[in-house]
Amino acid sequence: MRVDIWSDLVCPWCYLGKRRFEKALAAFEYSDDVETVHRSFQLDPSMPKGQPVRARDMLMRKYRMSEPEVVAAQEHLEQLAAVDGLEYHLDSYTGNTMDAHRLVHLGREQGIQDAVIERLFRGHFTENRSLFDHESLTALGTEAGLRNIEELLGGTRYERDVIADHQEAQALGARGVPFFVIDGRYGVSGAQSVEVFTGALQRAYNRRG
């Protein structure tokens, strides 16, 4: 049984959704029969490459919120993440994630996709490391165990795959992320509870029988 997970690497709800899904999967009786594939979704593909902006400024502009409102929302999300064992520091920067997504595709090719996306999420949300320049991405990818990173970043390989992932999610009705598709038939939108993921996994598995 396959689970496709669409995420953006600067989406805090995506990291939280990944962790909650993993908890559900760890307790699932048939977890050894489940293949997880991470797919790409860019919340704002129009952002210029290599030009990060302060996340709070972006949120204020996008949602027409005041800075105190954004700070309060981020502090609330940091507390939610802590409940699931994640350390968030959301006063950080955001930017174009195309190259970071390309590393995740390279990770799948090399059989370490989960290690790569986990390292990028932790680097961004816990350590405030950049996902928007080649030097930082090379360091993070190397720490995750990736090979041939500089060759990848020096070209355009996997750009079409990132775009195709995004378009497929939209065709399936996703307007945001995280977005989970279980066994090609059950969609789960958002960082739902562990119980919701557990139920979806069980229903999908039962249908296979």
Q: How far apart are CA 36 and CA 34, in angstroms?
A: 6
Query: Could you give the CA distance from residue 154 to residue 181 in angstroms, rounded to a whole number?
Result: 32
- Residues 51 and 94 sit within 8 Å (Cβ to Cβ): no
Q: Cβ contacts of residue 75 below 8 Å, gap of 6+?
A: none
**CA distance linking residue 153 with residue 169, whole number of Å:** 24
Mean pLDDT of 186-191: 96
Q: Report pLDDT for 208.
A: 84
Does 209 have pLDDT greater than 80? Answer: no
Helix (H), strand (E) at residue 2? strand 2-7
The mean pLDDT of 8-29, rounded to a whole number, is 98
- Global pTM? 0.97
User: Does residue 181 carry a pLDDT above 70?
Assistant: yes
117-156 pLDDT, tens per residue? 999 999 999 999 999 999 999 999 999 999 999 999 999 9
Q: Which domains does the chain have, with CATH numbers?
A: 2-208 (3.40.30.10)
Mean per-residue pLDDT, 57-71: 96
Question: pLDDT above 90 covers what percent of the chain?
Answer: 99
Q: What pLDDT is attached to residue 140?
A: 98
Is residue 12 very low, low, confident or very high in pLDDT (cuts 50, 70, 90)? Answer: very high
